[in-house]
Amino acid sequence: MWGIYLDIKAFEDGLFQAVVQYKIDNGKALVMLPKPNYELDMKRIRELPAPPRFIYGEQVSPCNHPDMIGVIVGIHWHFKRNCCSYTISINEKTRSKRYFDDDLISAV
């Protein structure tokens, strides 16, 4: 399952408003991505209607620079656009630009 975690207490862990993949285990939400085995409050998760197009750790390239290969290091929900935005790392440097589904292509 995929959802947006909306608990400000998870801000320091980088999970506030982050898109997370989780499973339900004994009535609790257990994160699988991006931080495995992190336990979440089920009441603070807004389930996504569909999984994100790209997932954590996937190799991608910006559409306008297909020669540059990066890795998805962050997925957040853009509430106004009602879609995922991605943060990528290229050569171990995190880019400050937010990318959306149409801005990226799979590098594999």
pLDDT band, residue 62 (cuts 50/70/90): very high
Distances (CA, A) of 17 to 8, 31, 42, 73, 94: 8, 14, 14, 14, 19
pLDDT band, residue 13 (cuts 50/70/90): confident
Tokens describing residue 93? 């440097």
- Domain map of the chain by residue range? 2-47, 59-106
The strand ranges marked E within 6-103 are 19-25, 28-33, 39-40, 45-47, 59-62, 70-78, 83-90, 93-94
**Does 108 score more than 80 pLDDT?**
no
By the 8 A CB rule, do 48 and 55 touch? no
**Interval 77-101 mean pLDDT:** 93
